[in-house]
Structure 1
Amino acid sequence: MEAVLIPLIVFASIFGVFYIFLSTRNKERMALIEKGADASLFQTKKTHRSNLTLKFGMLAVGIGIGILIASLIETYTVMDEEVAYPSMIFLFGGLFLVANAMIEKKDKIEE
């Protein structure tokens, strides 16, 4: 019974936190609108979301390449699996995030 109860409690807690966050945010926004605040306060920049998807995409590619390189290192060298996989995942994930930062910086300069 405990094996079923623990995941149920974890998912219920996560759902509760998100529900409270969203309902509180909605109440705050409604209160601001009732007081006459402009609704444009709540709009976010669209370029931020495109940069976010680029960042996650580049991170995923970096992690994938890190796993591939770690597999090759483990197979063809004497490096242990416990060292190869985390080091290559963090190395290539970090490299691709740095590359993403440079791309975003270049785009910001062009604007």
Structure 2
Amino acid sequence: MADTILVVLIIFSSIFGVIFTFLTTRNKERLALIENGADAKLFNSGKKYSFGQFILSIALLAIGVGAGILFGALFRQNGMDDGVAFSACIFIFGGIGLMASFFVNRNLTEK
């Protein structure tokens, strides 16, 4: 019981530490640029990612994971080991779904 609590605490403290370090470093960099006279528009140079594109990415990922579960079940019935069949198919089809999402989103932004 104590081991699982310790592992959970270590995981969450590591995530917190990485996010905290990233945010404080970014803040220091921005303050240094502002002190040197940089324009504030420099911080807003990234592309906007619309909500529709995010939903499309999640939908295609879910379709890929669902197809991976389906094909994993088919491979399991044909004699493949359960863990290998499901995990490999889920990752492969999830990756294919994310690649399809990337290409569809790229075509949508070009139009």
> Counterparts of 1:49 and 1:41 in 2: how far apart (Å)?
23
Partner residue in 1 for 2:67? 65
In the alignment, structure 2 segments of 5+ residues that lack a partner are none
**Residue 15 of structure 1, CA deviation:** 1.1
Note the C-alpha offset of 1:2: 4.7
TM-score (norm: length of structure 1)? 0.72
Kindly indicate whether residue 57 of structure 2 is the aligned counterpart of residue 55 of structure 1. yes
1:66 offset after TM fit, Å?
0.9
Question: Which range moved further: 88-97 or 99-108?
Answer: 99-108
Alignment of 1:1-80 (within 5 A): 2-3=2-3, 4-43=5-44, 44-47=46-49, 51=53, 54-74=56-76, 76-80=77-81
The aligned length equals: 109
Identity rate, percent: 46
TM superposition score normalised by structure 2: 0.72
Deviations 1:58-97 (A, max 9, x none): 22331122113322442x4333313321232133123223
Q: Aligned letter for 2:14?
A: S
Deviations for 1:26-60, whole angstroms, at most 9, x for unmatched residues? Answer: 11111211222111111121137764553344223
Distance 2:92 2:7 in 1: 35
Structure 1 residue identity aligned to 2:99: V
Label 1:71 to 1:17 Cα distance change in 2 as closer, same or farther (>3 A): same
Distance in 2, matches of 1:33 and 1:87, equals 48
**Cα-Cα RMSD:** 2.7
Q: 1:97 to 1:11 in 2, by over 3 A?
A: closer
Which moved further from structure 2: 21-30 or 43-52? Answer: 43-52
